[in-house]
């Protein structure tokens, strides 16, 4: 499919193809947005390049996805916005199912801190060099990753503690 890119985004794609030809895997458009898939090893350099050279100063979100495929099952998606050019760019990286691991981009955008914690909490993706990689929503001793496809909708019975349902007045009787 031929790409229909705006002028600033065309510069971004040309720049990426020139400087990161090894890391760039795919460029495509869907629903009016532009997606770039890169090798996971190159995520920090690509992100720093996009921030410093193309003014993507605003990291809107970092999300994970479970593609549920036998290879490269997990996906990390960076949602970048350039406020100057009014452009949005999605950068994706695919990770293997066994110990999914990718470098943290907190050194590029501070705001990635909690986004990556959330992604770790929900998908179990390990962000190396993260300053404080702890669970965000689930209890710290929770053993599962709720947004993985194999996790049942209603959770694992008994995995999160409920308060005692014995009426307190019955203890004395």
Partner 1 sequence: MGLENSFGDSYLTTKIDTLVNWARSNAVWPMPMGLACCAIEMMAFAGPKYDSSRFGSEVFRFSPRQSDVMIVAGWVNYKMAHAIRRVWDQMPDPKWCIAMGACASTGGMHRCYGVVQGCDNFLPVDAYVSGCPPRPDALMHALLEIQDKIRTEHSVTLDS
- Which of these segments, 61-69, 97-105, 106-114, 161-169, binds partner 1 (CB under 8 A)? 161-169
Decide whether 18 or 143 has the Cβ nearer to partner 1.
Answer: 143
**Cα distance between residue 89 and residue 79, in whole Å:** 6
The answer to whether 164 contacts partner 1 (rule: CB under 8 A) is yes
Answer for which of 137, 140, 148, 150 binds partner 1 (CB under 8 A) is 137
The dihedral over CA atoms of 63, 68, 74, 80, expressed in degrees to the nearest 10, equals -30
Number of helical (H) and strand (E) elements in the chain, helices listed first:
3, 7
DSSP string, 59-87: EEEEEEEE---SSS-EEEEEEEEETTTTE
The answer to whether 154 contacts partner 1 (rule: CB under 8 A) is yes
Q: How far is the CB of 148 from partner 1 (least distance, A)?
A: 12
The answer to whether 173 contacts partner 1 (rule: CB under 8 A) is no
- Which of these segments, 24-32, 37-45, 85-93, 147-155, binds partner 1 (CB under 8 A)? 147-155
Decide whether 30 or 166 has the Cβ nearer to partner 1.
Answer: 166
Secondary structure letter of residue 163 according to DSSP: P
The answer to whether 153 contacts partner 1 (rule: CB under 8 A) is yes
Burial of 121 (0-12, 13-18, 19+ CB in 10 A): buried
Position of tokens 């720093």? 48
* Residues of the shown chain interacting with partner 1 in the complex, contacts defined by CB under 8 A: 137, 146, 151-156, 160-165, 167-169
């Amino acid at each position: 499919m031929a790409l229909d890119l705006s002028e600033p985004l065309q510069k971004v794609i040309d720049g990426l193809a020139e400087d990161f030809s090894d890391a760039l895997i795919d460029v495509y458009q869907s629903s009016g947005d532009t997606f770039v898939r890169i090798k996971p090893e190159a995520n920090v350099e690509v992100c720093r390049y996009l921030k410093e050279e193309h003014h993507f100063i605003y990291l809107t979100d970092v999300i994970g996805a479970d593609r549920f495929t036998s290879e490269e099952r997990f996906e990390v998606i960076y949602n970048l916005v350039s406020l100057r050019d009014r452009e949005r760019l999605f950068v994706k990286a695919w990770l293997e199912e066994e110990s999914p691991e990718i470098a943290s981009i907190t050194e590029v955008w501070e705001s990635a801190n909690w986004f990556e914690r959330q992604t770790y909490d929900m998908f179990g993706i390990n962000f190396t060099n993260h300053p404080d990689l702890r669970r965000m929503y689930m209890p710290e001793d929770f053993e599962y990753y709720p947004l993985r496809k194999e996790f049942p909708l209603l959770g694992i019975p008994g995995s999160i503690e409920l308060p005692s349902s014995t009426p307190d007045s019955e203890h004395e009787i």
